[in-house]
Structures are given as structure tokens and as C-alpha cells.
Chain A
């Protein structure tokens, strides 16, 4: 059972979209009653996720939600793209793994910052990362 009480959808096509969405995510979680430090973790997670969207898929979407589920209220972030997908999801979850020869996907960090983490990717079709942090 999961009830969505608020949703914000943002298309990510440029660095500017990305920066704006990161800032909005801080406000979104503060308004939902989240404390200072967890709000910054939400913003940092959004920042990592939009960076992956821009780098690997070129464009995508961020959906920020305030949800009520089993353990109470949470902020949910869903990052969706229709890019090349991740071929080896296990490797992508290793620190410092990167298929573009740079820093890595930031996904292990996102997982550490959040309470729930789901990575769903089909090569050739796209990637969906869904995370939740309880308020």
C-alpha cells in the first residue's frame, strides 16, 4: 500500500534542468517536513541521478514524490531514462565502477544515503532508479 500525496515531475535535458531540479528537491523535502541533513542527502542523491541521466542517456525524467507507505511518510525519487541501459547492474553497484572511464555512477553512494533502493534496467530500453528516504 502506497499513497502519493504530492508529486513533482521534471524533464532533464540540460545541466540547467539538472541544477534547478536539485534545488527544487531540497525545498520539496524541507516542505515535507524533512530535516536539514536528510534534505541535503535527497538533493545529493538527485544530483547523482540527474548526472547519470545526462551522461548516459542524454535526457530523462525525475519524479519526486511525497508518499505514505508501510513505515510512514517518505520522500521517493524516481529517475527514469530511455537510454542504453546498464548491462551489468551488479558491477554498477560497486564503488568506483564506471563504464565511461570516469568516476562511477554514484549509485552505491545514493544507496547508502537512502533507506530503500531499486535499480531496474533493460539494455537498449532504459533505466529506472527508485529510492525512498523515510521522513
Chain B
């Protein structure tokens, strides 16, 4: 294991620190050996860089089976326990559908469509009341109760378009 200490090189996985976030590009399939070296290398880099978060770019994955995915989840849990939020990025449609069909447990995982969206997940939420630099672009970001045009909501929900005007 000593040979992987310090800035460990993991064959098939490129790691880069960007905006204080460690981005790992997984370019090979995660068989047992790659997984073991990746796990050691990633945790070491997290420790060395004290990064704020980890983005796992899985766009290079050709396949992942249920056991490989479970091992990946283990690695993600470990990095979370070290205190770094982890976001998955770029899984291919075929990989995702196989994974779900294979019955993989994906509860609680964070994912983003691309690197930009993943980095955005690490940006601090704008403080309440302060003008946001950028308008929130997701429905989630809107507080649920800010609908001044809809005071005293009716008891029973009305179907969309059923309201007057």
C-alpha cells in the first residue's frame, strides 16, 4: 500500500483539483483491482488536498454490474465520512438503465448531468432575503410558499388551469 501513498496515481483514473473540488475521471471499468486502487488513491487525495467535495465523472464507464456499483457506493460512503460531499456525473444512458434493471440501490446518491451542473451543486445557497447573483433556475430553489397571486389557497387542490383568469 505504501506505493500508493502521497499523490497516488491510479491507472485509468485521472484526478484533478479544480475550485477546491477533486474531480476524478474514471476512464476504465471498475473491476475489483481498479476499485481497490481507486479507493485508496481517492481517499488519500481527499486527505492531502482537504478538498470541499468530490465529483466522480463516470462518463468513461462502459459497464458496471451490481457488485461493482456496491463497491463504488462503499468508496462514496468513505469519502462522505471524511467530510466531502460526492456527486456523480455523466453516466451513460445504457449504463444507467442496466444498473437500475440490475437492481442496484441508488438511494441517497447525488448526481448531475454534466460537470457544470455538478460544480453548481457545491455553490453555497444564496442567503435568504439577499438578492441572488443568478436567478434560481430550478423549481426546487423556489420557496414553496411564495405565490402572492394565490392567497388563501383552496382546501382541495384544483387541477392545473382550473383557476380563473
Contact = CB atoms under 8 A, between A and B. Distances in A.
Interface stretch (A14-22, A62-70, A73-81, A84-92): A14-22
Interface residues of B, number: 23
B101 A113 contact: yes
A50 B87 CA distance: 29
B49 interface: no
B70 interface: yes
A51 B99 contact: no
A47 to B, nearest CB: 4
A83 interface: no
Contacts of A48: 65-67, 102
Interface string B29-66: 10111000000000000000000000000000011111
17 contacts: A19-B29, A36-B94, A37-B93, A37-B94, A39-B94, A41-B94, A41-B98, A43-B98, A44-B65, A51-B65, A103-B67, A106-B102, A106-B103, A110-B102, A112-B101, A113-B98, A113-B102
Interface of B: 29, 31-33, 62-68, 70, 92-95, 97-99, 101-104
